[in-house]
Structure 1
Amino acid sequence: MEGAHGPALAHGLEQHGTLSVVARQLLDVLTATQADVDAGVEARVAANPVLVRGSPRRCRWCASALRGGRCPTCSGSGVDVQSLDPASPVDARERVRLDARALVPHGREDDVDAVLALLDDRGLLPPDTPDPPPPRLAAALAAVRASAPPGTAARGLHASLVAQAARHVAHGAPDLVLVLLRDHLARLGTPDLATHVDATPDALEAAMHVIRTRLTPAPLPVAARDGPTTPPDVVVREVAGRLVVDALGPDDLGIGLDDELTALALDPAAAAWRDAHVADAHRLIYLLGRRADTLRRVTAVAVDVQEGFVRHGRSAHRPLTRAQVADRLGLHASTVSRAVSGAVVALPGRRVLPLAALFGTSQAARDAVRSLFASDDPPRTDAEACARLASRGIHVARRTVAKYRTTP
């Protein structure tokens, strides 16, 4: 943010004890959580007759463009968490039901309801369900599976986990994930697993991380909501194979000025009253825009470094500091720290993490150290561990090895 009123200048003013009102407000909004920002906007809209909340353009939850006020990606609406659309589906099964009914031939919509009625509390078919299904339900079953999370409507838990593993492998997870779930489910967690699958400890740990963090025994549980109860501050989406970062600004959220009131001819006293409110509205819109821009830019740099982590999880995490991001953006490190503090990022695959998770020491190095010392041939000293890790391209100091080896 290089503008004359950006956070870098605000920090400099702060250091000299001459922080302006707008600069102080900018620092405050950078450190505010999304829930606090939403509450503040609602209060300002209620108190300022010039400020209006119109129809949002993009979804608060996934940043997709809305169509007719609804999100075609997650079936949510663009409204904030304080005033959820009562007509929107709040239950994951209801969302699947509506989406699947749109996929079956006209007149066969009730078949979708019949399929959903067969699912247990976890979203699975009983193992004794006929295979193939009755011809009348085949299309509805296919529609439910196409509309629901992977593994839904599988016959039993094992089939569900295999279906989930296959989906993640198709989207970049290690092939070993599918091998483990399909052929070695009973051995997961046993000490001799690596010998049975002929995999290195690092490869096995990477696959197990996917299994632990991305697979679930309940792909479509009863009354499961469609995501977090508070919208994220920033969203990372995959578009045509690329990771795209979005942070919603005032235009995306439908926040603007009442054009009719601002253009109205008034006497001098009334015009002065209105102009004061117009200035206040412009200030809020500016602050929201600068917050969104800072979050977007900071997250974009972090995602550029951490693309492996975003796509594959902890095993691909790389070291990254706030100061490094600040240097790339030409900002002060304190500005980046304020933007990261308390912010939440939504990642592909419905993962929601603190934005701070993209920063810090390398989780991959930490996991490699632990795996090395837990292997059948652990190093005798920390120095030996450094050398063996360096041969794999993982360079860490001896004292770092000692810390990772002893801390949880």
Structure 2
Amino acid sequence: MARLLSPQRCCWLMPPVTLVSLAAWILLTGPNELTSHLRHQDTWWDYTEANLSTFNCDPVLRGEPEAVEQAKLLSLEQLFRKHTRLSDDHFLNVSQDCDTFLSSRKYLPFPLSREEAEFPIAFSLVVHHKVHNFERLLRSIYAPQNFYCVHVDTKAPASVLAAVTSITSCFQNVFLCSRPVVVVYAGWSRVQADINCMRDLYNISASWKYFVNLCGQDFPIKTNLEMVRSLKALKGRNSMESESMPSSKEGRWKKVHAVVNGQVQRTEEDKSPPPFNLPIKSGGAYMVVTRGFVEHVLTDSRVLELLKWAEDTYSPDEFLWATIQRMPRVPGSQRPSGKYDTSDMQAIARLVKWQGHEGAEEAKEAAYPLCQGRHVRSVCVYGTGDLWWMLQHHHLFANKFDVDEDLVAVHCLEKHLRNKALSFGVLQLGKADKVKG
């Protein structure tokens, strides 16, 4: 439950209907207290961080080698890392005063356009560590018309739960998942965490149009308005990786798996065939889906039977959503024919660099350039040198980021998105002023 805040608070806790009205009011009125926030650079445009106030992100975002190298060296400096690493307790303490927290961290208190106000998005965020990462992600995607369910792994450190609880209590549209679970890597519980947030989001509001699932190390590469327009362009379709299952991965669902000592282990017991003779597809853990898709996951008997069947498989999130996406009569789905296969590079859900697909531009099999950060479980943890590449793509989010590894990369990306979002907001306000004049 959100904390009770002073009536002087602008509009962080306004109900959805009021927010829509506010968005229209912003666009149709002349200069006032709210529009002045956008027009004065020192209020909302200033996204400075400790030891980054003078850092020029522009050449980094253009991929200029000298600037990228300077950013890498800065990220490696011990003094810089010491001054920029923020503990879980830091966020617990600064969020005790919600008013100060929201204003100092520059959470936007109102929609930047009518188009965004009229197209709410629902997000789930599955978190187990790195509160600093989580808070930067939340700030970068926050808009008062959207809805955010935060699932904290029940085995997460107490400091993580305390800090995330304190942060979420400062909002009306950000809340903790009502049924948190112990998340086991590559286990069913990762799917269950998303389903539990789906249910909470579905029940809390009927206004949102699309659902996007996130983890704590994701970060957007599009503004909220760009996301809205990308989702509108789908015209009721879902977008996620969904391809033919390679034979090398079939053991994940043809053999029974069990959680032993906190790890998923394969047994030699054969599983029963998939229900309804469904073709199992290969995909990823992340999706962009309609409200109708979410409703089907929660209520459709065929989907529920498939979910039950998948509970003792390995990494079910990497085939389950992709399979549901190709089931007949699922809202926003596509036919199971191979002609409708969609790779992760074609879908808009997530931009990921897998180590096995990296390589030089002239390499025939290389899907993308070499990682400029480091690898964790064969996935690139992005560095500043990756930013120019990712900003050329159509995806809504990229994975993975780590502020402890490269804060400059996150800082420059976040600043870029905020500047782009506010530039459009100011443009809209200027047009409205001309119409009134």
- Superposed pair shares fold, TM > 0.5: no
Normalising to structure 2: TM-score of the pair? 0.24
Larger Rg: 1
TM-score, normalised via structure 1 length: 0.25
User: Higher helix proportion, which one?
Assistant: 1
Greater strand proportion: 2
